[in-house]
Every structure is written in C-alpha cells, then in structure tokens.
Chain A
C-alpha cells in the first residue's frame, strides 16, 4: 500500500473519528443503546421494535400506563423515534391527570418526553394519527402539560371538577 493511500485513509479515519467524538459530546448519550441508535438514526437506518410498540399501545388503551411506558421504552431504547416518545409523554399525561389536581412529577416527565418527541419530528411538526387520542399533535400535548404545571387563579375554579381527560 502506497504512502499516499495510507495518508488519505488516515485522513478519512481521523475526520470520521473526530466527527463521532463531536457528535458524542453534543448529544451526551447515556447508554450504549442511545449511542448505537443515534448513529443509525444519523444514517437513516434506525427502526423501533414494532412488536414492543404495539404492546405499548395496547397497554396504553387499557390505561396501564406504567406497563405502556416500559413497552415503549423497550421499543425505542435509543429515544430516537418521535411517535414513540409522543406516546410516552401521553402516558405520563394520562397517568398524572387528576380531576382535582395533577401529579406534577409525572407531568414534568411528560413535558420532557414531548419536548424530545417534538425535537425528533421532521421540522418539529409532530402529528400522530390515532383516533383514540384527544390530542394528536405534539404542540397540543405540550401546552396541556405546561398548563397542568402552572399555578394560577383558575386552579380554584370549581368547574374544573367537571373537566375531562383528553
């Protein structure tokens, strides 16, 4: 192998390695699954586990939200799929929703998940076509979660007792 080929090869390897390091520092992955998922998503080869996703949706419709989130997280271990992250956020919303008060801890986690989902969606426009959902866009869910975390005079309105979960 000639020195020119070695130098060109080394140049390519160095640039790829440097790009990988820059991506790692920018994305701060927490698990190996997030690293591999992020890399495959970069080249458009990332796929969720469809069976686990279907299990998650089934649990979600039966109001088994913790089971649903477990299945969704298994389906999208790298947290790279906008639709799955939307369902995770929705599961936090429905579990945390209360007629008298909301569970702030769950709503905060829901807000983090929906922010992640919106960031992953093309042009940050997230629409989920599911007739079972009261809110089908990331923006609606995000506003609802934010509203649930806000403290204001409307919290004392007795008519709140008659509101319904979306």
Chain B
C-alpha cells in the first residue's frame, strides 16, 4: 500500500465518515457522538473485517515496519473504528425502542458475520447490504412513516397493517437533508473499506513461483509461475503443496 493512501487518503476518508455520520440536519443542526452501543458494534465490525481479511492488520501494524509506519497504520485502524461507529450510528434511529431493536439486530448480524464470513469480497458485500438495508429502513421507510402530513408510505403501511398503529413507538425524523448526508457517508465508508486492500498498480506484478518437479525430467526441477498473489495474502497464505 502506498504511503499516500495509508497516511492521507484512508484516514481522511474515515474521519469524514466519522464527521458526517453524526450530522443531523433537521430544524436545527446537531452533531451526535456515537452512543456506547455504537462503539460495541464498531468493535464487532472491525473484528469481522479483520477475520475476513478485508482488513489485514499486519499490513498496518507489524514488527517489521518502522515506528512511523506503525503509527500511520495505527491511525488508519483507529479512524476505521470511528468511521464504523458513525456509519452504524447514522442508520440507527437516535432514541427509543427502534434504536434498541436496530442496535440488537446489528449486533446479531455482525456476530453471525464474524462467525461465518471468511472472504474479503463476501465481507464487503455483506457490509454493503447490511448498511444499505438499514439506510432504506431508516431514511426511506421510517422517515416517510413519521413525516408530518400524508405520504405514500403511510398509506401503504396503513393498508398493509390494518388496525395496527404506531402507538407509543417513538421516532424523531432526522430530515431529508440528513438522508443525503448519510448516503454520502455510507458511500465513503464502503469506498474506504474497499481501499483498505485495493492492489496498487505497479510495473512488476507480484507472482508466486514454485518448484514443479513432475513437469520435468527425473532429477531436475523447473521453476514455474503458479498464480498471482494478492499482496495482503503474502504473509498468511503459503504456496499450495504439489
């Protein structure tokens, strides 16, 4: 990973998500710090990212790296944690029963992901679907449902759930502008996750060479190119045995 991406692009991207994730543009402008529940969700999310190799911690903090490199790598991980907290915070209702329900849903979903997902692309898809679904629920469904005045969503819900009312389920609409801000924050967050392990274009492609005795005459060995190796997998994935 280039120093520019690691030291400038990723921290700035994640800090922007941390800033925008708490922004609520309603009747007044509010910046909501993540509640403790969002921090727990963020730790789970970072754990799941690390377990699935979407975040290879050794690429950011390792004994072979210099102190300055480890420091900038540490900042990436800390800012990623802050961005995770605010990305989940922005799609969670701010207060009330809905806040609790959505938070529990995130915890369970991330625990499932932590236990089951082992591939980077699957993890990225999972996070994108999770955050995208939560975005639709909060900023499309709930905002329409609780918006003052009649709306299409209210009519649909009333028709589907005849006789059921929202009763005392409290929700404070965040405002339309907040939805746009949240969308940008989530897009930046996903982009940041992708960039965590995006291969750098270089003049020489890293390849894995191995000895392949069966393709040669008895008593000689031939070196052949077996497969391209992802940079992130250099440490952990040895060449497959013949």
Contact = CB atoms under 8 A, between A and B. Distances in A.
- Indicate, yes or no, whether A interacts with B: yes
Interface of A: 3-4, 6-11, 13-14, 17-18, 21, 24-25, 28-31
- Which 4 A-B pairs rank lowest in CB-CB distance, beginning with the nearest? A10-B7, A14-B11, A10-B8, A3-B3
30 contacts: A4-B68, A6-B3, A6-B4, A6-B7, A7-B7, A7-B69, A9-B7, A9-B8, A10-B7, A10-B8, A10-B11, A11-B7, A11-B75, A13-B8, A14-B7, A14-B8, A14-B11, A14-B12, A14-B15, A17-B15, A18-B15, A18-B79, A24-B19, A25-B22, A25-B31, A25-B33, A29-B29, A30-B28, A30-B29, A31-B29
A7 B67 CA distance: 11
A120 to B, nearest CB: 20
Given A17-B11, A21-B19, A25-B22, A10 B72 contact: yes
Contacts of B72: 7, 10-11
- Of B3, B11, B19, B33, chain A has the most CB atoms within 10 Å of the CB of B3
Given A3-B3, A7-B7, A14-B8, 10 more contacts: A6-B3, A7-B71, A10-B3, A11-B7, A11-B75, A14-B75, A17-B12, A21-B15, A25-B31, A25-B33
A8 B71 CA distance: 10
A30 B23 CA distance: 11
Contacts, number: 58
Main secondary structure of the interface of A (DSSP, over half): helix
Interface in B66-112: 68-69, 71-72, 75, 79
Contacts of B68: 4, 7-8, 11
A7 B3 contact: yes
Contacts of B8: 6, 9-10, 13-14
A112 B33 CA distance: 24
A118 B226 CA distance: 73
A9 B12 CA distance: 12
B9 to A, nearest CB: 8
B30 interface: yes
A127 B18 CA distance: 40
Interface string B11-28: 110010011001000001
Contacts of A17: 11-12, 15
B109 to A, nearest CB: 27
Contacts of B11: 10, 13-14, 17
Contacts of B31: 24-25, 28
Nearest to A5: B3
A8 B72 CA distance: 9
A146 B28 CA distance: 27
A13 to B, nearest CB: 6
